[in-house]
Structure 1
């Protein structure tokens, strides 16, 4: 495999707190999720995905707890997961269209990564901080994929919040799905969307 990223530095190696990069600034300024309907082959191979995940894990992580893990859906496993999700809705008597959509939900992209927030109960580190770290990881995975030539979108939808879907994914009682990150190749451009304005969202502290 041709590495797309430099290897991680040795532990305790001094690293610069800033890395000016015009390419990185352009990536951030123009970053956009792909529409889930335009993702297709190819996606990252297993070894390429492992590299993306290692890079994605370089996120803020208070006390170095690593409060997240991954469930990867590739190949035929995607269809199997979709059928299992569809069955959850079918036994509940959900409308046939919802059942059908659930069955296809994991086939939208060649690779789907479920990022699982798995906070560690160390008695010191707030769970909220650990959940934020999982969210940062989802976003970092998108950035790493985009920088490597793949398109992606971070979705949650009903399965991320469903108890039976959680049982299917073997989630522990303290775990939650931070998101399903779909990765592949964009087969069409996605138009820019309306973005929130900065005005009215910034308050500069001047004292009590």
Structure 2
């Protein structure tokens, strides 16, 4: 796929189904995450990949976090099923690395860029995906269940698979003008 077309037509796809990327395809996606801006080459991120039984394990962790947070039984059940909305879920974590030069925000931005780079690599290979967030992204119980440190932060859940239904790309004529200010 042409790089500019990929960038200009990128869309999130919430309706995902099998197959998802695997083997060499998934390897390319993870490698793309390593190519993001990363001042001082700290690699301030970690990719937690869930496929197959890993989706069940991730769902169990989501459900445990929901229980501890006092969520309703309905939400606990829903949390357990959330990872099964796609055949591949990559939890991207900003892992703070000690540095006198690179501030924590810069490190989190690098991890966020990794999510986008991986989504673009998936799209370039014919897959679809969505970068999800939500309350679980900020839930410290989930962070603990994933063995994350106190300074670590989930920056997103990248759901990947095959597009289940077509979606249109709608761009308004004045989108650029709505968000651009010339100095």
Q: Any unmatched runs of 5+ in structure 2?
A: none
For residue 111 of structure 2, give the secondary structure of its aligned residue in structure 1.
helix
CA distance in 1, matches of 2:69, 2:103: 36
Query: Could you give the per-residue CA deviations for residues 25-65 of structure 1, whole angstroms, max 9, x where no partner exists?
Result: 11111110101xx2110011144312211122211111111
- Render the CA deviation track for 1:73-100: whole Å, top value 9, x for unaligned: 1111211221232133235542222112
Larger radius of gyration: 1
SS at match of 1:199: helix
Find the aligned partners of 1:177 and 1:154 in 2 and give their Cα distance: 12
Structure with the larger RCO, 1 or 2 (CA within 8 Å, 6+ apart): 2
Aligned match of 2:38 in 38, 46, 61?
61
> TM-score scaled to structure 1, two decimals?
0.80
Counterpart check, 1:33 vs 2:12: yes
Distance 2:85 2:56 in 1: 10
RMSD: 1.9
CA distance in 2, matches of 1:93, 1:203: 44
- For the pair 1:183 / 2:160, whether they are aligned, the reply is yes
After the TM superposition, list the runs of 4 or more consecutive aligned residues in structure 1 that deviate by more than 4 angstroms: 193-196
- Is the partner of 1:171 in helix, strand or coil? coil
2:175 match: secondary structure: coil
In 2 relative to 1, CA 108–122 (structure 1 residues): closer, same or farther, beyond 3 Å?
Answer: same
Greater shift, 95-104 or 131-140, is seen at 95-104
Indicate the residue corresponding to 1:121 in structure 2: 98
TM-score (norm 2): 0.91
Unaligned stretches of 5+ in structure 1? 1-21
Q: Is residue 144 of structure 2 the alignment partner of residue 161 of structure 1?
A: no
| Aligned 1:52-201 pairs, distance under 5 A | 52-192=29-169, 197-201=175-179
Q: How many residues in Structure 1 have an aligned counterpart in Structure 2?
A: 182
Inter-partner Cα distance in structure 2 for 1:69 and 1:53: 10
Relative to structure 1, the CA distance from residue 83 to residue 192 in structure 2 (aligned partners, 3 Å threshold; closer, same or farther) is same
The secondary structure found in structure 2 opposite 1:97 is helix
